[in-house]
Structure 1
């Protein structure tokens, strides 16, 4: 079965295209009076209802907002990597936006490459990208190794 990969829809496709280029971008309303960032991507701005959007480059920095260590992992390929983490990262340049992912030791490391005892709410992280089954996904590296 392998690790789960995202289902890419029309609204989110640019996110994954930028990720493949090593860029973390977030959808933003392009209406001049609005400009609100939104995630997950969607066709209409929830603030002003404009259908105009653009993709803003983020710094790739954030902090762990929340995390879990799944017990027990339900899928065989995840069970083989236990204990691993699943995190929500609050973006430094967009604090209302939180992305799900994993903290790893290096971009291509297995999900269990970081000792769970090193994870803390508020810990600084930065984005890194790796390819899984043809899709480039963001992962997170602790700022302090």
Structure 2
């Protein structure tokens, strides 16, 4: 498909590449999204098995794994691993110590959530969790 005319005619300010990526990730028929896109135990098992048994560390073959999970795209699978399935993730609520680490990390690094995750939390809190905590009304009180 030639995405250039579509971008120019329908999506001012978006590149052909951005249009193509949006189609692949969200609009293409068969891609699961919303509540109907809930993850099954079998899908979780496939992701966990592929990532933990891969000789490649860190795992980066998300597109290959997407071929084994009909209706899923690489970004969805990576996000599922990074934010939920990774056994190193701390799923407990943020405590005072965590909030202090976040505060100090933000003071040094600004809104570079990935760096705060690795440098302040030793990658035990995913960047999305850190960003959401920073912007939560509870944290700002």
Q: TM-score, normalised by structure 2?
A: 0.25
Give the structure with the higher percent strand: 1
Greater helix content: 2
The structure whose RCO (Cα within 8 Å, separation 6+) is larger is 1
Q: TM-score if structure 1 supplies the norm length?
A: 0.24
